C-alpha cells in the first residue's frame, strides 16, 4: 500500500531539525527578522521611533508561517509522545534518518543509507527501522490533523453504526 503521507511527514521532520528543533526558537526567529526588517524600512523612510508598526508586522509574519509552525508543533508532540511511551528506538530512528544533515537536499539512496546506519546503531533490523519511521510519520500525521488510514477506519466504523 502506498504511503501518501511519507514525503510530507519526512519533510516536516527535516524542517523541524533544520530550524533548531524548537518551535519557540523558530517563532522568535521569524518575529525578530520581521521586527528588524520593519524597523529598517521605517528608518529608511525617515519615520521616528519604529515600534507599534514593527510589532504588528512581526506578529503578522509569525501568523504567515502558521502552517510551518503547526508542523513543528506536531513533530514536538510526536517526539514527546514517543518518549513518553518509552519508544526510544523510534525516536533514535527519526534522529538517524530524518535529522541528519537536514539542510542538505535528499539524494536518491540517502534514506536507505541512513536506515542502514540506524539499524547498526539502534540496533534493530532494517525492517524494524522502516516500521519505526512509519510509526513516527503516522503519529505526526494524526497530531497534524491529516487523514491517515486509522482516521479512515474510525470514520468508516462511525458511518456503519449510523
Q: How confident is the model at residue 158 (pLDDT cuts 50, 70, 90)?
A: low
The answer to whether residue 57 scores a pLDDT higher than 70 is yes
Residue 32 lies in a domain: no
Within-domain flag for 116: yes
Could you tell me which of 138, 143, 159, 147 has the C-alpha nearest to residue 6?
138
> Residue 31 falls within a domain, yes or no?
no
Helix (H, G, I), strand (E, B) or coil at 47: coil
Is there a domain that residue 95 lies in? yes
Q: State how far the Cα of 72 lies from the Cα of 68, in Å rounded to an integer.
A: 6
Range of the domain at 118: 6-20+67-161
How many domains, in total, are found in the chain? 1
In a domain, 46, yes or no: no
pTM score over 0.95: no
Q: What angle do CA 123, 135, 110 make, to 5 degrees?
A: 60
On the question of pLDDT at 88 being above 90, the answer is yes
> Does 100 reside within a domain?
yes
- State the average pLDDT over residues 63-83: 95
Between these two residues, 3 and 24, which has the higher pLDDT value?
24
Domain annotation covers residue 45: no
pLDDT-based confidence at 1, cuts 50/70/90? very low
* 100-126 core/surface letters (b: 16 or more CB in 10 A; e: else): eebeeeeeeeebeebbeebbeebebee
Q: Mean pLDDT score of the chain, rounded to an integer?
A: 87
Lowest average pLDDT, out of 30-44, 81-95, 114-128, 146-160, goes to 146-160
Q: Report the 10 Å Cβ neighbour count for 161.
A: 6
For residue 61, tell me if it sits in a domain: no
Amino acid at each position: 500500500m502506498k504511503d501518501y503521507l511519507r514525503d510530507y511527514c519526512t519533510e516536516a521532520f527535516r524542517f523541524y531539525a533544520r530550524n533548531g528543533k524548537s518551535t519557540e526558537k523558530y517563532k522568535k526567529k521569524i518575529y525578530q527578522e520581521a521586527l528588524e526588517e520593519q524597523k529598517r524600512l521605517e528608518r529608511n523612510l525617515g519615520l521616528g521611533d519604529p515600534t507599534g508598526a514593527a510589532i504588528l508586522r512581526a506578529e503578522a509574519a509569525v501568523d504567515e508561517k502558521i502552517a510551518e509552525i503547526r508542523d513543528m508543533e506536531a513533530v514536538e508532540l510526536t517526539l514527546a509522545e514517543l518518549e513518553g511511551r518509552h519508544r526510544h528506538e523510534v525516536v533514535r530512528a527519526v534522529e538517524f534518518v530524518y535529522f541528519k544533515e537536514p539542510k542538505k537536499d535528499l539524494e536518491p539512496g540517502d534514506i536507505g543509507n541512513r536506515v542502514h546506519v540506524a539499524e547498526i546503531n539502534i540496533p534493530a533490523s532494517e525492517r524494524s527501522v522502516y516500521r519505526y519511521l512509519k510509526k513516527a510519520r503516522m503519529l505526526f500525521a494524526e497530531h497534524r490533523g491529516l487523514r491517515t488510514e486509522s482516521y479512515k477506519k474510525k470514520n468508516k466504523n462511525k458511518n456503519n453504526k449510523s
